Amino acid sequence: MRHKLDKVRENSSEELIKRLAEIRESLFRLNFKKALGDVDTVGQIRRERKEFAQIKTILRGRALGVEK
């Protein structure tokens, strides 16, 4: 898990913002599927939300000057 997070940190802020938009779209579609009764999407929703939060945290750290 640590290696994946390090790879995310290597990306530029613009790339991370672009990835946030992709995740937001994906979460919308997954939540729609879940509402239609697809129970297989729950785990994927959790993974997407976790990645979303990690990226937001990295971007916030960069905005505050804590993160490189």
pLDDT in tens, the chain (68 residues): 678 888 888 999 999 999 999 999 999 999 999 999 988 899 999 999 999 999 999 999 999 988 76
Please tell me whether the overall predicted TM-score, pTM, comes out greater than 0.85 for this model: yes
DSSP 67: -
Long-range residue pairs from 6-10, CB within 8 A, at least 24 positions apart, any chain: 8/51, 8/54, 8/55, 8/58, 9/58, 9/67, 9/68
Number of other residues whose CB lies within 10 A of the CB of residue 55: 21
